[in-house]
Chains A and B, each alone.
Chain A
């Protein structure tokens, strides 16, 4: 990839990450931490490529470990985030009508 383009991507992605979080109310910080934890589970894709291109036994072993860990990050991150947010939803469903302050 062309170096300068890569730097543009980094800059824009960094601003995006900052902006997405900056508007988050304090009350949602932890689910968001869990959600962003899930998002970097995309490392699974890279681990798959590393394993897919592995030639030697050593590369295969490390690549295998990488994919196991990456899949754990992605799947685990999704499950716990979803469960946490599910808890929020079930609270919402039982919402009392006289909620107005």
Chain B
């Protein structure tokens, strides 16, 4: 199987292109660290990916090109189609899905190498030394866990898996699986010529571990878990990069592994939780939700009345959620707030760390709609102020203002820091319908005596509020 070019020329071109790939990836990630250049960043990184992929066809000694093109067209086509049509609200699970695919690909690379070693004739010269086998096995382990774990995360966020499967001693079982997998992995390295069965068992155990690790974790913690698996996949890719002596994979994998680890910690910190807590406490279990004991009723209010209530308030705190972003209502919301400010009302925005399932998304949307930065406050800054607020306006947010997180120990969101909207004198909630929140938990805030519901699309509802305030003069 000869390559497309003389080997030395091809190798030189590939090496040069991988250097460019690494450069473009790092530049792209750096550009993504600012809202102004972020979009350019993904395009730069995309260019790197394109160059790397095209140049890799030149690898010496390759065949199976038809299969390769078919696989790229199939996998890439499906991902393109699904990525284009997925709703913005479903973005987290799509990231989980694509991340899982990356982990699976890394595991597949390792599988090809390990099976090749296993099927070699006993006594034949070893294909790889122990160090390479160890790296392949490590990448296989991490990649397989990331693969099955991400798929479970996808299933849970997509609503395909509704329950959190937990039983006593689950941590012990997980630890035993880890120990068994590591032991088998070590035996692969020591043996040098492992049997096919050992390799299969190794992969099976790693895949099972990803499932049992992820199943007990609830929806609210999933962004942290997805971020962790993202770092895992990065490391797995780097390990397999060593096996294949592929510098682009090593550099990209390690960069993502290190950045992803830091990002995971930052996200967990933003949610006021430690990574250990997320992994081992079964937080956000939606299996046993106590919804039957909600007192009171949902009380609707006309937008005109709600508008008047705000126009004569002294202080209004706006709590935007992802529902507002989905409805693209942030410009209208800012227009509303400017009206109120002109009337002498003090307006502030309260942002929950995980507002709308995507940490940090909200700040950018508000900032770009023109909301001055000093009006935006995070949870710690604003929570003491709710008691002095006349109106808390909740737009498309739900779980992050649910007071059961403070009071109900049986609630899956118990312990999550929330915005104290219930402490405000009046609460207005703009909501599309009467359904429960992302986590499926009934929101007790909506049933409080001083809460009124404004039903409808966020943008339309806010437009009606603007109209009402203008009419109120």
Tally of contact residues, B, Cβ under 8 A: 119
Docked Cα-Cα span, A15 to B259, in Å, equals 9
* B437 in the interface (beta carbon within 8 A): no
> When the two chains form their complex, are residues B226 and A9 in contact, meaning their CB atoms are under 8 A apart?
no
A-contacting residues, B113-148, CB 8 Å: 113, 115-116, 119, 131, 147
B-contacting residues, A62-76, CB 8 Å: 62-76
A4-32 near B? 1/0 per residue, CB < 8 Å? 00100110011111101111111111111
* B62 in the interface (beta carbon within 8 A): yes
Q: In the complex, what residues of A have CB within 8 A of residue B246's CB?
A: 45-46, 49
**B419: min CB distance to chain A, Å:** 16
Q: In the complex, what residues of A have CB within 8 A of residue B242's CB?
A: 1, 6
Docked Cα-Cα span, A93 to B5, in Å, equals 47
Q: In the complex, what residues of B have CB within 8 A of residue A23's CB?
A: 33
Instruction: Say yes or no: A17-B256 contact (C-beta < 8 A), given A59-B116, A71-B72.
Output: yes
* B360 in the interface (beta carbon within 8 A): yes
> When the two chains form their complex, are residues B72 and A52 in contact, meaning their CB atoms are under 8 A apart?
no
> When the two chains form their complex, are residues A38 and B240 in contact, meaning their CB atoms are under 8 A apart?
no
Contact of A74 among B76, B95, B244 (CB under 8 A): B76
Q: In the complex, what residues of A have CB within 8 A of residue B254's CB?
A: 9-10, 13-14, 17
> When the two chains form their complex, are residues A27 and B79 in contact, meaning their CB atoms are under 8 A apart?
no
> When the two chains form their complex, are residues A20 and B75 in contact, meaning their CB atoms are under 8 A apart?
no
A-contacting residues, B84-127, CB 8 Å: 84, 86, 88, 91, 94-95, 97-99, 101-102, 104-106, 108-109, 111-113, 115-116, 119
> When the two chains form their complex, are residues B372 and A100 in contact, meaning their CB atoms are under 8 A apart?
yes
> When the two chains form their complex, are residues B49 and A78 in contact, meaning their CB atoms are under 8 A apart?
yes
Interface locus among B51-59, B181-189, B395-403: B51-59
Contact of B369 among A14, A36, A91 (CB under 8 A): A91
For the residues of A in contact with B, the DSSP-based class is: helix
> When the two chains form their complex, are residues B358 and A30 in contact, meaning their CB atoms are under 8 A apart?
yes
Q: In the complex, what residues of B have CB within 8 A of residue A36's CB?
A: 29, 230, 234, 255-256, 259-260, 263
> When the two chains form their complex, are residues A50 and B250 in contact, meaning their CB atoms are under 8 A apart?
no
Q: In the complex, what residues of B have CB within 8 A of residue A26's CB?
A: 266, 270, 359-360, 363
B-contacting residues, A29-59, CB 8 Å: 29-54, 56, 58-59
Docked Cα-Cα span, A88 to B262, in Å, equals 24
For the residues of B in contact with A, the DSSP-based class is: helix
**Interface hub of B91, B131, B258, B358 (most chain A Cβ within 10 A):** B258
> When the two chains form their complex, are residues B105 and A76 in contact, meaning their CB atoms are under 8 A apart?
no
Q: In the complex, what residues of B have CB within 8 A of residue A10's CB?
A: 238, 250, 254
Docked Cα-Cα span, A25 to B365, in Å, equals 14
Q: In the complex, what residues of A have CB within 8 A of residue B363's CB?
A: 26-27
> When the two chains form their complex, are residues B256 and A32 in contact, meaning their CB atoms are under 8 A apart?
no
Docked Cα-Cα span, A20 to B254, in Å, equals 13
Q: In the complex, what residues of A have CB within 8 A of residue B248's CB?
A: 42, 45
Q: In the complex, what residues of A have CB within 8 A of residue B45's CB?
A: 35, 38-39, 78
* B202 in the interface (beta carbon within 8 A): no
Q: In the complex, what residues of B have CB within 8 A of residue A59's CB?
A: 112, 115-116
> When the two chains form their complex, are residues A89 and B39 in contact, meaning their CB atoms are under 8 A apart?
yes
* B416 in the interface (beta carbon within 8 A): no
Closest A residue, CB atoms, query B18: A45
Q: In the complex, what residues of A have CB within 8 A of residue B161's CB?
A: none
> When the two chains form their complex, are residues A80 and B109 in contact, meaning their CB atoms are under 8 A apart?
no
Interface band, chain A: 35 or more
**A50: min CB distance to chain B, Å:** 4
* B317 in the interface (beta carbon within 8 A): no
> When the two chains form their complex, are residues A1 and B245 in contact, meaning their CB atoms are under 8 A apart?
yes
> When the two chains form their complex, are residues B78 and A51 in contact, meaning their CB atoms are under 8 A apart?
no
> When the two chains form their complex, are residues B76 and A17 in contact, meaning their CB atoms are under 8 A apart?
no
Docked Cα-Cα span, A53 to B245, in Å, equals 14
A-contacting residues, B59-76, CB 8 Å: 59, 61-65, 67-68, 70-72, 74-76
> When the two chains form their complex, are residues B49 and A29 in contact, meaning their CB atoms are under 8 A apart?
no
> When the two chains form their complex, are residues B359 and A30 in contact, meaning their CB atoms are under 8 A apart?
yes
Q: In the complex, what residues of A have CB within 8 A of residue B365's CB?
A: 88, 91
> When the two chains form their complex, are residues B101 and A17 in contact, meaning their CB atoms are under 8 A apart?
no
> When the two chains form their complex, are residues A46 and B104 in contact, meaning their CB atoms are under 8 A apart?
no
* B300 in the interface (beta carbon within 8 A): no
Besides the known contacts A41-B102, A46-B249, 15 further A-B residue pairs in the complex with CB atoms under 8 A apart: A1-B245, A10-B238, A20-B255, A25-B360, A26-B359, A27-B360, A28-B38, A33-B263, A43-B236, A48-B72, A63-B67, A73-B79, A76-B82, A78-B46, A94-B369
| Shortest 10 CB-CB contacts between residues of A and residues of B | A52-B62, A66-B108, A79-B83, A76-B79, A101-B372, A17-B258, A71-B75, A73-B102, A68-B75, A67-B71
12 A–B contacts from the bound complex (CB under 8 Å): A28-B33, A35-B32, A36-B255, A43-B102, A43-B240, A50-B112, A52-B68, A53-B61, A67-B105, A75-B79, A83-B84, A92-B35
Measured CB to CB, the residues of B under 8 A from A are: 21, 25-26, 28-30, 32-35, 38-39, 41-43, 45-46, 49, 52-53, 56-57, 59, 61-65, 67-68, 70-72, 74-80, 82-84, 86, 88, 91, 94-95, 97-99, 101-102, 104-106, 108-109, 111-113, 115-116, 119, 131, 147, 223, 226-227, 230, 233-234, 236-238, 240-242, 244-260, 262-263, 266-267, 270, 325, 330-331, 334, 358-361, 363-365, 367-370, 372-375
